[in-house]
């Protein structure tokens, strides 16, 4: 073999590798206040207090028992069963050539079927959708065991559906696009519209055009847990508008998430409804962490808030009210057991003993000190067959 041919084949192989290699998702950096620990062991420890992870991650046969995940949700989205009652569907094709007539083997084909399905993947893949994927009811999209990414195009939409579980996906660089049947997608990572019984767990989300996760227009009974969010401006919108009264019964639990580097605001921004924000870590937001308007009830419990060194961004909360302080001082916003670091502070309001807090206390909080003592095990997981995940 000539040296010229050898060099050509070398560069061809290198080009192929770069073209088709799936980059790894970002990993949470160590908290300065935590001690090093093995993420799997800490997640299996009863002292950790993460009841979701304790429910399934210690099982060496997690791959054979994937459907057990559906029994592990907590909070307002705890009744989401996804595709537990259906067959497995394996994604073998990362393409999305024809959104109106998707090919069998693609994610779109499985996610849009009428029957319940538990969707898994046969290998690592990056899925670049041509249009946003409107997931049908009773679906689980389960990326465990592979590096599955949805990005560089429109992403996921839950429109008038119920019983959805989304687990272990890296969702990033989502953009709006025109739909074949009219209208445009928003450019959210996950857009939830008039849907219920939704659970989004152990995903990593960053750099989308609009929100990372938005829930609007009467959506309710949602749990957003164990996710790693980073590098984004308007992170999470919960509630369509101040005027839309259909969101008054919205209930969302936000638990065990890590709001990391490069986030600006809306973690979340709430309108109307009831929001239990429990056992999350917030790190160095650039404007504010938790905001709202239109009289939402917000219960912040057992979180760790680490402010940046910027003296103008120490406050965790932000309220938007057309009638000023006299209006928002009546809204029920409460902090209980939160740990404030580097000058962070939460401004409470309303009646500290309001019965509304009992209505929206969706799970038992663990002490915030535990979050600082154990390295966060959030976002997508590197699960290996026949080992605890």
- Cα separations in angstroms, 307 against 64, 276, 286, 383: 42, 21, 9, 32
Give catalytic status of residue 251 as yes or no: no
Structural domain includes residue 18 = no
Structural domain includes residue 9 = no
Q: Give the total number of structural domains in the chain.
A: 1
CATH number for 309: 2.160.20.10
Q: Which domain holds residue 111?
A: 40-373
Q: Which residues contact 72 (CB under 8 A, 6 or more apart)?
A: 51, 52, 55, 56
Structural domain includes residue 14 = no
Determine the Cα–Cα distance for residues 167 and 321; give it in Å rounded to an integer: 36
Residue pair 255/227 in contact by the 8 Å Cβ criterion: no
β-strand partners of 190: 156, 213
Structural domain includes residue 193 = yes
> What pTM was computed for the model?
0.92
Structural domain includes residue 225 = yes
Annotated catalytic residue within 66, 108, 251, 266: 266
Determine the Cα–Cα distance for residues 156 and 247; give it in Å rounded to an integer: 21
Q: What is the mean pLDDT of each run of 10 residues along the chain (389 residues)?
A: 40 39 79 46 62 95 98 97 98 96 98 98 97 98 98 97 98 93 91 98 98 97 98 97 93 97 98 96 98 96 97 97 88 97 97 84 92 85 94
Structural domain includes residue 145 = yes
DSSP 137-164: SSEEEE-TTS-EEEESS--EEEES-EEE
- Cα separations in angstroms, 380 against 22, 187, 201, 309: 14, 21, 9, 29
Structural domain includes residue 388 = no
Structural domain includes residue 24 = no
């Amino acid at each position: 073999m000539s040296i010229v041919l050898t060099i050509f084949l070398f560069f061809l192989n290198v080009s192929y590798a770069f073209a088709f290699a799936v980059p790894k998702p970002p990993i949470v950096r160590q908290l300065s206040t935590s001690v090093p620990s093995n993420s799997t062991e800490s997640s299996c420890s009863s002292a950790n207090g993460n009841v979701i992870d304790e429910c399934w991650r210690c099982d060496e046969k997690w791959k054979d028992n994937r459907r057990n995940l559906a029994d592990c949700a907590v909070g307002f989205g705890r009744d989401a069963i996804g595709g537990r009652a259906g067959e497995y569907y394996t994604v073998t094709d990362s393409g999305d050539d024809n959104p109106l007539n998707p090919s069998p083997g693609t994610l779109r084909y499985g996610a849009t079927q009428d029957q319940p399905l538990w969707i898994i993947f046969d290998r690592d893949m990056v899925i670049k959708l041509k249009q946003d994927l409107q997931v049908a009811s009773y679906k689980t999209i389960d990326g465990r065991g592979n590096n599955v990414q949805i990005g560089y195009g429109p992403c996921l939409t839950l429109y008038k559906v119920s019983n959805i579980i989304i687990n272990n996906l890296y969702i990033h660089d989502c953009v709006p696009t025109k739909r074949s049947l009219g209208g445009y997608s928003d450019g959210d990572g996950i857009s939830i519209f008039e849907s219920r019984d939704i659970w989004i767990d152990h995903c990593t989300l960053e750099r989308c055009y609009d929100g990372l996760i938005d829930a609007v227009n009467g959506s309710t009974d949602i749990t957003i847990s164990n996710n790693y969010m980073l590098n984004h401006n308007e992170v999470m919108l919960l509630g369509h508008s101040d005027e839309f009264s259909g969101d008054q019964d919205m209930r969302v639990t936000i638990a065990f998430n890590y709001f990391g580097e490069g986030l600006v605001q809306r973690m979340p921004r709430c309108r109307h409804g009831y929001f239990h924000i429990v056992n999350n870590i917030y790190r160095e937001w650039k404007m504010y962490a938790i905001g709202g308007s239109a009289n939402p009830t917000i219960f912040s419990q057992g979180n760790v808030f680490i402010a940046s060194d910027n003296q103008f961004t120490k406050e965790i909360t932000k309220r938007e009210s057309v009638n000023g302080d006299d209006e928002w001082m009546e809204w029920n916003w409460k902090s209980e057991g939160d740990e404030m670091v580097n000058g962070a502070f939460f401004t409470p309001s309303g009646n500290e003993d309001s019965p509304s807090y009992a209505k929206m206390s969706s799970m038992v909080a663990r002490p915030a000190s535990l979050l600082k003592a154990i390295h966060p095990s959030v976002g997508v997981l590197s699960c290996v067959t026949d080992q605890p995940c």
